[in-house]
Amino acid sequence: MRLLRGIAFISVMFTLAAVAQGSTLLSAGFALAAGVDGTWTGTLATREGDFVQVFKLKTEGTTLSGTVKTADGPHVAISEGRVEGTRVSFTLTVDSGGRSRTLRYSGVVSGDRIAFEVKLAGDDPKAFTETVHRQ
């Protein structure tokens, strides 16, 4: 009987520790998500030239929203935005010479910078890298 009580006690303690750790990890995830909020700038280098971009990002839980603006273009709303731990991702659809182009951004947050991999979808897919910095 003592052995069963001891096992039950240990099981309860492990459960409580796991719940406490999960709560801490969940809080840390939301704290990181909140750390993505703000204005970020970077330059996307392509064969067609370099494009200075301004990102205005906002999180709500694990959902990322915001806009991206190039020097000579309008603010374009991002879609499918997510924040998962240190990873952020979103889709941007832009008009390029009368053609709709979809860019998929996937990045890792490290302090005041995000290192993105940018994939251009479509008939002629391409991949780029871009590092943006918090303003």
32-134: CATH number:
2.40.128.120
Give the residue extent of every domain in the chain.
32-134
- How confident is the model over 81-121, as pLDDT tens digits? 999 999 999 999 988 788 888 999 999 999 999 999 999 98
Distances (CA, A) of 92 to 31, 65, 68, 88, 95: 25, 11, 8, 13, 10
pLDDT for residue 4:
36
Q: Taking the CA of residue 133 as centre, how many other CA atoms within 13 Å lie in the half-sphere pointing to its CB? A: 3
Give the residue with greater pLDDT, 108 vs 47. 108
Work out whether the CA dihedral 33, 89, 73, 52 comes out positive or negative: positive
Percent of the chain at pLDDT exceeding 90: 58
pLDDT tier for residue 73 given thresholds of 50, 70 and 90: confident
| Average pLDDT score over residue span 48-73 | 93
Residue with tokens 């273009």: 73
Query: pTM value?
Result: 0.73
